[in-house]
Structure 1
């Protein structure tokens, strides 16, 4: 048996898959190869790929697998695409779920006084787990948070250079 290299694809799954499919696939990888920070490639369009952790796999998971949450038994991830830094997921049979989620995010944008983007915390139904990530809602016509940060950093660098040219050393933050 050959050793699996960091970043090597270990599983490719054709779409569509049920919404809890990513959890089930991740669990299968941990039971076959071991635990670790695997990555999921959504850029394939009609399939997704899971790659080995950069630090390598740890011990294999052997405990009894809990029954996965049935997020929406009819919802399936139909396709996924990556366009630069934008992930586009198409869900089938989940129109009501997507409508409710997108309406809630839009209302949060308006209620919070969003100008370009706002960030929301999305919790699982049981509410027991803090999310590891947040969802950012941005106007389609606006700059991303990353682009705005780059502009701000460039402006700070230019202002610091102007201060140095005037004989003033900028104060460290």
Structure 2
């Protein structure tokens, strides 16, 4: 039987993909001391292709927001895989948003809103979180955005 968050996903028409496997020597998520720490997630488009590019160079804010949203979807997929039940999520505590940016690009916060707004849409008030949004000169595999998360969780 679907829980409250699963029902919300259905309501907004969001189907979670299979969580991405790690691309190096780490695990996707670690649950410890009432928190789930999720490794950086990369953005995949509807075709399953990585969303590549540099904001302010060959990609615009709208593309960056889509990429951030795609990262957020993958974060939720990792939550589901790690916790089994998304209703265990008590609060999205913090998102760390890394934006592959040209040196003159300064709208990282606008890009990060693509993820932040989805977390609030899915989890409601507990989806409101602290956040960092920083520009970096390059990200793994040339992706436009990478996002990690800290999530407060209840006992399973």
TM-score by length of 2: 0.25
The structure with the largest alpha-carbon Rg is: 1
Higher helix share: 2
The structure whose RCO (Cα within 8 Å, separation 6+) is larger is: 2
